[in-house]
Amino acid sequence: MKLKVKDLDISTGGPLIAILNWKDSSELDLHYLDRIKIIKGKKIETVTIDIAQSKKMVSSGRIGLFEEVLQSLNLKDGDIIKIIPARKPTSIDYIKKKLDGFKLDKKEIEQIVWDIVNNKLSDIELTYFVAACYANELDLEETTILTNAMAKYGNTLKLKRYPIMDKHSVGGVAGNRTTMIIVPIIAAAGLTIPKTSSRSITSPAGTADTVEVLTNVNISINKMKRIVEKTNGCLVWGGGLDLAPADDKIIKVEKPLAIDAKSQLLASVMAKKASVSATHLLVDIPSGKGSKISSKEKARKLKGDFISLGKELRIKVRVIITDGKEPIGNGIGPALEARDVLWILGNDKRGPKDLRMKALKMAGLMLEMGGKAGKGNGFKLALDILKSGKAYKKIVEIIKAQGGREVDPDGIELAPVTYDYSAYKDGVIKEISNRAISKTARVAGAPQDKGAGIYLRKHVGDKVKKGEALFTIYAPNKDKLDYVKDVIKAVDGVVIR
């Protein structure tokens, strides 16, 4: 069947979609989510169809195309194309196999990942794959194959250096901006650490959001390589590098139901590390009430899984289980977190002690892993690098290499409207909910408004008096602040006893 192209001027953000009028789809016996091949000259693309029930969207004789299809075939409005029915990707059979509880082999897993990367699966089909791995967890062999496939079908950073250091936090704790402190310490010690980080999905700030307050994070992989070769490190957004792109697509469909299959979590982390050629990895698993990993038992199991997968991938992995029961640091939100980091790196007394100590401990372990310090001596070396100003000098070097300039932490712009949330009685703080603090900071505007968020003035264990400020909220305007006040009453994030 020949049809005239209609440019819908809509992007899916990935999947290849076309819309047919119901009369044309009936003639070819095509149904919702069936596939067709679109042929234009020598170019052919397989796409998923949706069906328009009225001619207002797409009339008979026309085919509505989303931007991804137009770009793939270099089509424009009014072009004439040919369509024929196409079979569904073979990976759908493999997804059904996993749903039935059977083990997948290398060929099957690699085909699924290839189809994900090349937008051959609809979001619904991809969701079924995520659900299959959630209900029937991948074993170590399957997880290793999935990790390697995710790294294979994407860009890879290749460096002629050894060792190549990396770190990762499983997340779930508000603040916890250790990466921005660790990277300059490790780089200043002469080790290589090409750090890629994510933007926020459900938190008030991802590391990339916070770094972006200080410098550009959207760097090409070639420029990233030049920066690392010059400075030993970088702090860039992984989403702009096409590293393990299947991971980003999987995360997208996991989000609505908060599905987090363990095997996919492991593959997600390790594929990104393999993509930057990491040889040594430190993994931080925060554990405690309100964090992603709620119990020490689950944390210990996940620790063993990371170490086992690391052995299969020939990456030396060390895992630490840390206290995740409350936010780490004082600033929650991109600008407030960036200010905390610069205060710590600049040896300013206003730098939060808990964040400083955790970052130093982690940096110390990495210095030992990388052979720069003997066992038990890493912390002292990390502290010496921090106190000497070498870490601050290195962060400035990295910021400038990525297109930024040296920033005075006191000059970082914060949201203009503030409100102090005060203690409702005398006592001792017994709990500060990560989820409640994160929710409040996001409602205040973070991370979209980089200056919005929360600044904690008290932590768990601190004595407080009624009316004393527990934290300060920063919001862009009064209307937003009024809404935040209503949210605080609902989430009730601080417990005083």
Note every long-range contact of 301-310, with CB atoms under 8 Å and residues 24 or more positions apart, other chains counting.
302/170, 302/262, 305/262, 305/266, 306/266, 306/269, 306/270, 308/140, 309/140, 309/143, 309/144, 309/147, 309/266, 309/270, 310/270, 310/281
Query: Dihedral sign, CA of 303, 304, 305, 311?
Result: positive
Angle at 265 between CA 327 and CA 204, to 5 degrees: 30
In order of 187, 413, 421, 442, 454, the CA distances from 449 in angstroms are 30, 11, 20, 9, 12
In whole angstroms, what is the distance from residue 459 CA to residue 457 CA?
7
Residue type, 393: K
Residue type, 353: K
Two structure tokens written together for 265: 């979590």
Two structure tokens written together for 172: 């779930």
Q: How far is CA 368 from the centre of its chain?
A: 27
Q: Which helix (H) or strand (E) holds 356?
A: helix 353-369
In this structure, are residues 339 and 385 in contact, taking their beta carbons and an 8 Å threshold? no
Residue 194: half-sphere exposure toward Cβ, Cα within 13 Å:
32
Q: Which phi-psi region, left, alpha or beta, contains residue 101 (left: φ > 0; alpha: ψ -120 to 50)? A: left
In whole angstroms, what is the distance from residue 21 CA to residue 43 CA?
23
Q: Which helix (H) or strand (E) holds 496?
A: strand 494-496
Among 7, 123, 260, 462, which one carries the catalytic annotation? Answer: 260
- Name every residue whose Cβ is closer than 8 Å to that of residue 296 and which is 6 or more positions away in sequence: 287, 321
Active site residue 479: no
In whole angstroms, what is the distance from residue 415 CA to residue 454 CA?
10
**Which sequence positions are flagged as catalytic?**
260
